[in-house]
Structure 1
């Protein structure tokens, strides 16, 4: 019996301890929670990020990104939070792009220390876009008058019910150019000397497959999360997915009126997400 106990102790002593890599999924359109129920915002993901970086002994933190972009503000806020937590925990951050990491999605990826993707992933789209509709001729045909009263000559620029003005478009393009420069500065700071492509082409808003993104220096290689973690840290390393906190009264429970409202919100969110994904052929 003593011999058996001794052997068990020996086996336990020589058993390799298992390490862990926390995984946070960043999926969907990037938008504040007030704009989209399913939006990817700092408010929505911060609890997961804090929990991931608080795990002691973690080899790294993995971000699995699947986003066509969205709000530049939320992209910047999430990216900054990732960097702040990484510095505090002194843990490397690995980003893995799935179907798409474009526009704001690439902003998030660039917040990591290393970026990986599938050969067929869509990566890039470093630019700024604004879109809308003009209804001025439609309401004119309907005989509807647009009555707007403001204090401030620029209070109602880009009103979709009024004819487009060159001065309004110029102001919008100026804002876009400023945000674009912020995006470029972020990518340049994070990727540094890794970027290999032509500057004007890289920051033109174009997007590429993961295979081409490697050649351009936008990502570091082609790999999936589990494969790279196992290769780098060994097969005794486990992936720990940090699940989002469930919303109170989540799903479609509750009163009939609440159910209908949530169904409409979900339908609108899905339509917006599908429209953004369609821009990348997805």
Structure 2
């Protein structure tokens, strides 16, 4: 409506200021999260995405800085962006900061164009599952583990039991299916832009500069410079942020009692989440 109104005005009266909504998708991608340590998921990002697309603008800018995480949440975020882009007829420009790898790159595929910093990390088109094994720990500390199941495969890959070849084979088959879905998405979105690189879908990752050569990104640059170059020097960037209510601002620290158990649980969850997120970032030397 605003753009139509501007076109109807005499040229001398028209506003030269273009406002571009900006969404920041920064962090590891996983379901859940907590007040202390939020994570990227459809639940935490859907409101921001819909709010950005509700604005009358020639394009939506998305800043991505993510080492990946849940393939399900990555695809759900990607799909919500593409669905709204089609519904609202909006161009989506994705800007990669430090990392858009694995699930982070899957989300980046939602962009009509992907612009990366030359020194950023892109790619890692693969699937990884990581855990720890403690089969001898309980014996050493004198603890007996008791697991009762209905169904012979309910305790598959139990970290306190020795690893079985058939369990690993089952996990690998699941990973291959997820990997195939990821590859199909990359080919569908990047198409003929992709170069014939044998390691493209092996999980390797590259700098933004090399990613441009491989067809993983469309250009090198930063958000402010690119948007001002395309839409004019007066272009304004509007960061879309979540609106927080009074109770969420007060949080558990501001409640009058009964919050100690919840706070303790949230703290433990936050510590575990931080360790998981740290492991994701460390894969890329960050």
TM-score, normalised by the number of residues in structure 2: 0.88
After superposition, where does 1:251-266 map in structure 2 within 5 Å? 253-255=253-255, 257=260, 259-266=263-270
**What value does the CA root-mean-square deviation take over the aligned residues?**
2.1
Show the counterpart of 2:201.
Answer: 203
Q: Secondary structure at the match of 1:93?
A: strand
User: What 5-or-longer segments of structure 1 have no aligned partner?
Assistant: 1-10
Q: Of 233, 236, 239, which aligns to 1:235?
A: 233
CA contact (8 A) 1:252 1:263 kept: no
Deviates more, 1:133-142 or 1:174-183: 133-142
Q: Secondary structure at the match of 1:116?
A: strand
1:80-115 CA-to-partner distances (Å, cap 9, x unmatched) read 000000000101100001011110000010111100
CA contact (8 A) 1:19 1:236 kept: yes
Show the counterpart of 1:42.
Answer: 42
TM-score, normalised by the number of residues in structure 1: 0.89
Describe the shift of the 1:12–1:264 C-alpha distance in structure 2 as closer, same or farther (beyond 3 A): farther
Q: Structure 1 residue 147: deviation in Å?
A: 2.2
Task: State how far apart, in whole Å, the 2-side matches of 1:196 and 1:104 are.
Answer: 21
Q: Secondary structure at the match of 1:66?
A: strand
Task: State how far apart, in whole Å, the 1-side matches of 2:265 and 2:136 are.
Answer: 32
1:150-209 CA-to-partner distances (Å, cap 9, x unmatched) read 2211111101111110000000000000000011111111111111141x4011000111
Question: Is 2:58 the partner of 1:59?
Answer: yes
Q: Of 260, 270, 274, which aligns to 2:274?
A: 270
CA contact (8 A) 1:195 1:218 kept: yes
CA contact (8 A) 2:33 2:273 kept: no
After superposition, where does 1:109-124 map in structure 2 within 5 Å? 109-124=108-123
User: What 5-or-longer segments of structure 2 have no aligned partner?
Assistant: 1-9
Structure whose CA Rg is larger: 1
Q: Secondary structure at the match of 1:229?
A: helix
Task: State how far apart, in whole Å, the 2-side matches of 1:85 and 1:128 are.
Answer: 27
